[in-house]
Amino acid sequence: MCTSKQLTHIVLNGGRVITVMPNTWKETNIFKDELLVKKIPRKIILKREVEESDSGTEYFSLFSGDYETLDDGYTIYWYLSSQKKKLDKCLRQKRVKRADSQLTELSLKLNKRNLKTEKQIREEIEAILNKYRVKDFFKINISKNTEETIVQVGKGRPGLNTKYRSLTKTHYILEWEIDKAKLKQEESADSIFPLLTTDKSFGPKEVFASYKYQPKLEKRFNQFKSVHEAAPILFKNIERVETIMFLFFIALIIQGII
């Protein structure tokens, strides 16, 4: 749903939207870059008990400041989840560990087959780091040693007229280091998520409460498609479409009450 065109269509037709803003939007990178270089104040807006949490409590915080989308001026609220913070750190450590393991495997295959040139080696390194999204956390160095040997031209026993030629062979060595300072810095951007609303009358707590209600809405959609077996039906009259949708709506309300 979250494209500028779709949001505009909903707003122009009298609708309102609360949704998670995609990571691909420029506003996300702008906020994260700001968060990496300075500490932005935040306040706790919700606490709840969580059995699987080490502390037994999960809290959600709101970052202070006024944030809007660059193109349409929709309101953005930035939140932080304590539970998600631990999860983000754990998942990043796993990705770094897997990338480190694959770089070790790669280093043992250098100077063979398709890994005989620096370009080929760098392309393979790039593929590994991009696969695990850890490019910023590794310092890569490729060094090379050049070995020159003299070999005889042609076959046979060497003699006075034997010709020789020089062969140069390059051996590449892969070295890397995990940037612990960069990893530590990245932790400051863990567990954050932005909620976008097209209605400026909604405050941060209202937006967050509506977002947390989403699983219940998804449950009704699931019931609509599975329990009630909603399927495409051909009607020639719009009133009949509205009637059957109203009946489905009543059925969902009754099921929700039960």
Residue range 94-111, pLDDT digits in tens: 999 999 999 999 999 999
Residue range 14-29, pLDDT digits in tens: 888 888 898 889 999 8
At 218, the pLDDT band (50, 70, 90 cuts) reads: low
Q: How many domains does the chain have?
A: 1
User: How crowded is residue 76: how many other Cβ atoms within 10 Å of its Cβ?
Assistant: 20
Residue range 47-59, pLDDT digits in tens: 887 666 566 788 8
Residue 257, domain member (yes or no): yes
CA distances from 62 to 81, 144, 189, 217 (A): 9, 51, 13, 24
In the chain, DSSP finds a helix count (H) and a strand count (E) of 8, 8
Residue 228, domain member (yes or no): yes
At 151, the pLDDT band (50, 70, 90 cuts) reads: confident
- Specify the pLDDT at position 53: 55
Residue 148, domain member (yes or no): no
Distance from C-alpha of 31 to C-alpha of 41, rounded to nearest angstrom: 13
Q: Are 76 and 139 in contact (CB under 8 A)?
A: no
The two structure tokens encoding residue 79: 């939140």
Q: Are 20 and 7 in contact (CB under 8 A)?
A: no
Residue whose pair of structure tokens reads 């509205």 in the numeric block: 242
Report which of residues 188 and 137 the model is more confident about: 137
Burial class (CB in 10 A: 0-12, 13-18, 19+), 121: buried
- Specify the pLDDT at position 94: 95
Over residues 104-131, the mean pLDDT reads 93
Residue range 236-251, pLDDT digits in tens: 788 888 888 788 788 8
Residue 46, domain member (yes or no): no
Report which of residues 95 and 255 the model is more confident about: 95
| pLDDT at residue 125 greater than cutoff 90 | yes
- Specify the pLDDT at position 5: 86
Residue whose pair of structure tokens reads 């270089």 in the numeric block: 37
The conformation of residue 39, written as its DSSP 8-state character, comes to: P
Residue 248, domain member (yes or no): yes
Residue range 156-185, pLDDT digits in tens: 888 778 888 887 888 999 999 999 988 988
- Specify the pLDDT at position 204: 92
The conformation of residue 70, written as its DSSP 8-state character, comes to: T
Report which of residues 36 and 122 the model is more confident about: 122
Distance from C-alpha of 25 to C-alpha of 30, rounded to nearest angstrom: 9
Residue 237, domain member (yes or no): yes
Residue range 187-211, pLDDT digits in tens: 888 889 999 999 999 999 999 888 8
At 215, the pLDDT band (50, 70, 90 cuts) reads: low
Over residues 27-49, the mean pLDDT reads 88
- Specify the pLDDT at position 254: 81
Residue 255, domain member (yes or no): yes
DSSP letters along 190-249, please?
TTEEEEEES-TT--HHHHHHHHHTHHHHHHHHHHHHTTS-------S-HHHHHHHHHHHH
The two structure tokens encoding residue 175: 């070295």
Q: How many CA atoms lie within 13 A of 180 on its CB side?
A: 0
The two structure tokens encoding residue 227: 């329990």
Rg of the chain (C-alpha set): 30
User: How crowded is residue 155: how many other Cβ atoms within 10 Å of its Cβ?
Assistant: 5
Residue 57, domain member (yes or no): no
By residue range, what is the domain housing residue 218? Answer: 213-258
